[in-house]
Amino acid sequence: MTETVVSSATKEVVIGFERPFVIIGERINPTGRKVLAAEMAAGDYSRVERDAVAQVEAGAHMLDVNAGIPLADEPAILAEAIKLVQSVTDVPLSIDSSIVDALKSGLAVYKGKALVNSVTGEEERLEVVLPLVAQYGAAVVAISNDETGISEDPDVRFAVAKKIVERAADFNISPSDIVVDPLVMPVGAINTAGRQVFKLISRLQRELKVNTTCGASNISFGLPNRNGVNGAFLSMAIHAGMTSAITNPLHREVVEACMGADIMMGHDPDCTRWIRRFRETPAPAGPDSSEPGGRQRRATRRRRNA
């Protein structure tokens, strides 16, 4: 029963097979957000602050922080953003960059045990990122692609994940500190993407015994009503064994899909978290209906006829 422990200065979050699903807020990422990118490059972190607070209020258990801005000083900006986010929230962070110097500067200022996002199966990444993860005693997201790119064959992606876990062991990084991202492809382009990734997630849990995460929103790329697609995907991925995701907690569908799945998996005993979150919401009802429960009505009727 693998558990990945990450922390801030004051708070611990555990990603695990028998734990509530961990939502990692994806919003602090300037890629595709021109206004945010311009503000961050100019040293204005007010939107970062608002995004951090809003995502935690909406249900994020961790936040991903990315500062990938073209031609900007990413290591400096990422460190600033991390310091700021840690000053306004107490959730653990995922330090997200493909530039090793940015990961270094982020880790240097981070308080707690971070999740480094990410290492791939590419040799040059393994050789520089894994020592860094080991040095800081961090956890790491392992993306299952390598020099040959992203394979459409789930067996190849499994093999890449296995290789990363084995290489990490050489640096004394435990499998419990590795969260594998099996890579979610857009289902609009690759119709088998859903079933494929569910199988891969199950196999990663069963055989490699690692926690998993993914960029969940990618599943719906190019489709209308993306939040609806994302919600269905998340509930099903949790049923398959996924234990965390980088996604957008500001969308009601996303939070309901994850928290509802927690109930179904038995990871929200007595539905305490669900009830706390939703008890203020008035129950939807038709013009002449108090309860929408079909089978419950049947049971009532049965007794009458018994």
Restricting to residues 50-79, which ones interact with a copy of itself according to CB under 8 A? 64, 68, 70
Q: Looking at beta carbons only, is 36 or 140 nearer to a copy of itself?
A: 36
Q: Cβ of residue 45: shortest distance to a copy of itself, in angstroms?
A: 15
Options 138, 238, 241, 249; binder of a copy of itself; rule CB under 8 A? 238
Residue partners of 259: CB distance under 8 A and separation at least 6: 21, 59, 268, 273, 274, 277
Q: Cβ of residue 165: shortest distance to a copy of itself, in angstroms?
A: 21
Helix (H, G, I), strand (E, B) or coil at 224: coil
Examine residue 294 and tell whether it contacts a copy of itself (CB under 8 A).
yes
What mask of x and - would describe binding to a copy of itself in positions 31 to 50, judged by CB under 8 A? xxxxxx----------x---
Find residue 63's DSSP bridge partners: 25, 93
Options 41, 58, 72, 263; binder of a copy of itself; rule CB under 8 A? 263
Examine residue 214 and tell whether it contacts a copy of itself (CB under 8 A).
yes
Using CA atoms, how far residue 130 sits from 103, 108, 171, 178, 209, in Å, is: 11, 15, 7, 11, 19
HSE at residue 68, side-chain half, CA atoms within 13 A, is 16
Stretch that binds a copy of itself, among 130-138, 153-161, 163-171, 283-291 (CB under 8 A): 283-291
Q: Looking at beta carbons only, is 64 or 177 nearer to a copy of itself?
A: 64
Find residue 264's DSSP bridge partners: none
Instruction: From 71, 87, 76, 84, select the one nearest 45 (Cα to Cα).
Output: 84
Q: Do you know the residue count of the chain?
A: 306
Q: Looking at beta carbons only, is 26 or 80 nearer to a copy of itself?
A: 26
The DSSP secondary structure of 30-81, one letter per residue, reads: -TT-HHHHHHHHTT--HHHHHHHHHHHHHT-SEEEEE---TTS-HHHHHHHH
Stretch that binds a copy of itself, among 11-19, 156-164, 165-173, 227-235 (CB under 8 A): 227-235
Stretch that binds a copy of itself, among 127-135, 154-162, 168-176, 261-269 (CB under 8 A): 261-269
Examine residue 144 and tell whether it contacts a copy of itself (CB under 8 A).
no
What mask of x and - would describe binding to a copy of itself in positions 90 to 129, judged by CB under 8 A? --------xx------------------------------
Q: Which two tokens stand for residue 278?
A: 């939703």
Examine residue 249 and tell whether it contacts a copy of itself (CB under 8 A).
no
Find residue 244's DSSP bridge partners: 22
Measured between alpha carbons, how far is 11 from 62 in angstroms, rounded to an integer? 10
Q: How many residues bind a copy of itself (CB under 8 A)?
A: 92
